[in-house]
Structure 1
Amino acid sequence: MAALGTSGEFMPEKITASYRIVTPMFIGDAEQKASGISPASVKGALRFWWRALNWGRVLKEAGDNEVAALKLLHAQEAVLFGGLAETDEDEKTGKKQQLGGQGAFLLRVESKNLKKYSAGTMDEHYNLKDSWQSYLLGLGLMKYDKKKNYYQRSALISGSFSVQLFCKNSAYSQELENLLLLWGLLGGLGSRQRKGLGSISITALKVGDEIRELPQNQPAVLEVLKNLIDKSATGEPPYTAFSQSSQILCSPAKAQTSWQTLAEIAEKMQMFRGWGFDAGAGHQINHKPANHAAHTKKRTDHNIVDDYAKPAVPTKQLPKSITFGLPRSYKLSNGCEFKLDVHAPSKNNEAKRSRRASPMFIHIQQFPNDETMIIQSFLPATFLAANDQVQIQQKIGNHWGVVDNITPATNWQVIREYLKTFSTWLAV
């Protein structure tokens, strides 16, 4: 409960959560440089996980009406986090209600011992030669070069920070406490956080004068996540959120660095998805034999992309693995380059492209004894809107030309096959 001040007024309740940076955090300021952790970036991350966490509840409150649930979610988010002031009419009572304005809490971030590497020094300490982690970094964070891959952005590679929330109304205290805990077990900050970069681990949680006990091992993490997450929502959420279709898997904890752990999951994912390159000794990925039978659609997907370069094959299809996220690039052995991107209509009916983030989240959890653990979360949601298409493009010179536009049907089969390869991991 909020404290009572000397004047008889209730004082804001303070919630403090402390976190450590577990994997390199490519968080950028206005110039895309890793200069620190801002309150705005933390608040943005908390908003994301709040929406994911509350979809089941608001859907139930809205009587399973998705449109009404989205409206209710927007209204509650505006009250909690703040937003542009606006007036809305309550559908049940007909009364006008004020939304937005200042949120229900104030947020402050304090950082400690942040260590930053520039793009140049990143190469020295996080070598990308034949590394599996480069697969997760992707374009934007690193540059692929025939002789040497190198980083293009700076990163915060270690340190800690605390998030202090001053709740104006103690009614929101438990909700915010749960949110800070969930973020510290599944989330992160910065670019490519869905791929395990910028992972954070919660190290302390204090509400008022009370110190909360935190999970210290794999079974305890599973128990906390089961208690926090609402998976009651049926159907496919209209945005990234927990539902009955969600899957969360936790690996055993190991005595290895977080960078080594990131390489471990990167290798598993790349070997599952990649076709490899034939260097004279069969197709290989990072000098290891590629697995062309990793999933049931892999060879079919490869043949589909291979046909893009054949004008004699007029009917184009899409690989089933596009649900891992778009855009997706392919470079064939004959030198042809193709890219799959989203082709979505805008309000004025002009075509525009926008990415579709992966429904897979990789998080590296680090315990007080420095053991590390991988948590993979699969949160399927509406992947493409009804009128969206996937555009096949081919690189010709320095430009991309359109090959075809295709309206796909979302199929999560490949991702579910990927998750089945972790049969020894524990599920939430």
Structure 2
Amino acid sequence: MPEIIKAEYRIVTPMFIGDAEQKATGISPASIKGALRFWWRALNWGRFRKEASSDQKALQVLHQQEGDLFGSAAEKNPRQSRFAVRVKADNIPAPKDDWPKSQSDSGYLGMGLWQSGKKEKGNFQAARQYLSEGINFTVEIIIHPSLSKDSVQSLKDTIVIFGLLGGLGSRTRRAFGSVALLTLDQNSCRLDSVQCYKDAVIDVLAHYDLPDTALPYTAFSKNSVIKINPEGQSTARNAHANLGALFKRHRGQPSGLRGPGKRVFGMPYSGGGKKEKDARRASPLFMHIHQIKEKYHAVTTSFPAVFHYDKALEKVDYHLVSSFSDNFKEVPIHED
């Protein structure tokens, strides 16, 4: 019998996940594998870089091992994944499309999710559907016998960190579709306090090398900053709205931040120049809502890395990213 890793998750904030027709019909194995691939890369960069003579060499080894584990469609060396994914979710209610509202604080974090435009003008966009918060789903990872124990453990760590900081669907970096790990191989992963949450994050990252050099992509390093709001809210949507209001005061119209200063939060952006308008750079700021007992807490993670390979766009102030949540409590992920 193959080894099976079984993880149960809960959707904490509405999840804008869609099929080929953008209908929120369920959670696919492909979406789970894509999320795990991202967090595996984030966890493992330090290990590959430590053993390589340069970033380029480390990236080559990383891509090789990533392809061995997750599979690769590369023409020269296509490979099958060393594990299969099954997703089980019973009694998923009908999807909704009534949140967030355009002028709300949560709406500030989710521009483009609501209905806009007019059919007669040819710019109509229907509201995106979402799966409601509170839905539990189970992920089963069926391990190929050839996978090493170290690789299996790394996969388990990825499953955990995904369930502490991550999410699924559109706008996950803005805390839509946040998920929380409930059980792993029938062991409870429910958290009783903010300190338990911090300890859980620290416990995973303690087994990984965190470099203090510039990173070529989004990954954990000694410069990463993880913070959690010690003040929980009664509902996930309230926690999300509070996070949106805080971000709006820091980056939006009420703030004094203008022009190139906004670049660090991702491109393109309103108020940028022609280069910023044409460029693409995902935000290095990840937002997440986590349930701890009966309360919902906002979490932010800043991932400093090489911002852009165009010299005219590479200069940014990463302090603007981490300082946005100065009133939160930092998770000490490394020793000074």
* Pairwise TM-score range, normalised by the shorter structure: 0.7 to 0.9
Task: Provide the rounded CA distance (Å) in 2 between the counterparts of 1:322 and 1:74.
Answer: 29
* Cα offset, 1:173, TM superposition: 2.3
Secondary structure at 1:17's aligned position in 2?
Answer: strand
Q: Is 1:156 the counterpart of 2:131 in the alignment? A: yes
Q: What is the one-letter code of the residue matched to 1:162?
A: T
1:211 to 187, 195, 218: 187
Alignment-derived partner of residue 402 in structure 1: none
Q: What is the one-letter code of the residue matched to 2:262?
A: S
1:373 to 297, 303, 307: 297
* Cα offset, 1:113, TM superposition: 2.8
Alignment of 1:26-425 (within 5 A): 26-63=16-53, 65-84=54-73, 100-119=78-97, 122=98, 126=99, 128=101, 130-138=103-111, 140-143=112-115, 152-158=127-133, 159-168=135-144, 169=147, 171=149, 172-206=151-185, 211=187, 213-229=189-205, 230=208, 232-252=210-230, 254-275=232-253, 290-292=254-256, 298=257, 301=258, 318-330=259-271, 342=276, 353-367=278-292, 369-386=293-310, 407=313, 409-419=315-325, 421-422=326-327, 424-425=328-329
* Cα offset, 1:26, TM superposition: 0.7
Q: What is the one-letter code of the residue matched to 1:80?
A: L
Q: What is the one-letter code of the residue matched to 1:252?
A: P
Secondary structure at 1:68's aligned position in 2?
Answer: helix
How high is the sequence identity, in percent, across the aligned residues?
A: 36
Residues 341 and 28 of structure 1: CA distance in aligned 2, closer, same or farther (over 3 Å): farther
Task: Provide the rounded CA distance (Å) in 1 between the counterparts of 2:100 and 2:281.
Answer: 29
Q: What is the one-letter code of the residue matched to 2:168?
A: L
* TM-score, with length taken from structure 1: 0.69
Instruction: List gaps (5 residues or longer) in structure 2.
Output: 118-124
* Cα offset, 1:412, TM superposition: 2.0
Task: Provide the rounded CA distance (Å) in 2 between the counterparts of 1:340 and 1:201.
Answer: 39
Alignment-derived partner of residue 426 in structure 1: 330
Task: Provide the rounded CA distance (Å) in 2 between the counterparts of 1:243 and 1:271.
Answer: 28
* Greater radius of gyration (CA): 1
* Cα offset, 1:232, TM superposition: 1.9
Q: Deviations over 1:125-174 (max 9, x none)?
A: x4627421010011x212468xxxx9721111131211101112351321
* Cα offset, 1:118, TM superposition: 3.7
Q: What is the one-letter code of the residue matched to 2:281?
A: R
Secondary structure at 2:282's aligned position in 1?
Answer: coil
Alignment-derived partner of residue 19 in structure 1: 9
Aligned 8 A contact 1:188 1:198 in 2: yes
Secondary structure at 1:357's aligned position in 2?
Answer: coil
Instruction: List gaps (5 residues or longer) in structure 1.
Output: 1-10, 88-98, 276-289, 293-297, 302-317, 331-337, 344-352, 390-406
Residues 380 and 143 of structure 1: CA distance in aligned 2, closer, same or farther (over 3 Å): farther
Q: Deviations over 1:359-418 (max 9, x none)?
A: 000010113x3311111000011211136x5xxxxxxxxxxxxxxxxx552332422432
More strand by share: 1
Aligned 8 A contact 2:116 2:127 in 1: no
Secondary structure at 1:59's aligned position in 2?
Answer: helix
Secondary structure at 1:232's aligned position in 2?
Answer: coil
Alignment-derived partner of residue 397 in structure 1: none
Aligned 8 A contact 1:341 1:355 in 2: no
Task: Provide the rounded CA distance (Å) in 2 between the counterparts of 1:129 and 1:323.
Answer: 24
* Cα offset, 1:86, TM superposition: 6.5
Structure 1 segments (4+ residues) deviating >4 Å:
338-343
Aligned 8 A contact 1:13 1:170 in 2: no
Aligned 8 A contact 2:102 2:114 in 1: no
Aligned 8 A contact 1:326 1:340 in 2: no
Q: Deviations over 1:208-241 (max 9, x none)?
A: xx63555332111111211212362122211111
More helix by share: 2
Q: Deviations over 1:93-151 (max 9, x none)?
A: xxxxxx651222111111123234343xx1xxx4627421010011x212468xxxx97
* Cα offset, 1:194, TM superposition: 0.1
Task: Provide the rounded CA distance (Å) in 1 between the counterparts of 2:255 and 2:200.
Answer: 36
Residues 266 and 127 of structure 1: CA distance in aligned 2, closer, same or farther (over 3 Å): closer
Aligned 8 A contact 2:40 2:154 in 1: no
Aligned 8 A contact 1:321 1:415 in 2: no
Task: Provide the rounded CA distance (Å) in 1 between the counterparts of 2:222 and 2:84.
Answer: 33
Alignment-derived partner of residue 120 in structure 2: none
- Larger RCO (alpha carbons 8 Å, 6+ apart): 2
Aligned 8 A contact 2:100 2:113 in 1: no
* Cα offset, 1:85, TM superposition: 6.3
Alignment-derived partner of residue 3 in structure 1: none
Secondary structure at 1:261's aligned position in 2?
Answer: helix
Task: Provide the rounded CA distance (Å) in 1 between the counterparts of 2:13 and 2:71.
Answer: 30
Alignment-derived partner of residue 304 in structure 1: none
Secondary structure at 2:93's aligned position in 1?
Answer: strand
Alignment-derived partner of residue 347 in structure 1: none
Secondary structure at 1:28's aligned position in 2?
Answer: coil
Aligned 8 A contact 1:21 1:157 in 2: yes
Q: What is the one-letter code of the residue matched to 2:261?
A: K
* Cα offset, 1:190, TM superposition: 0.6
Q: What is the one-letter code of the residue matched to 2:331?
A: A
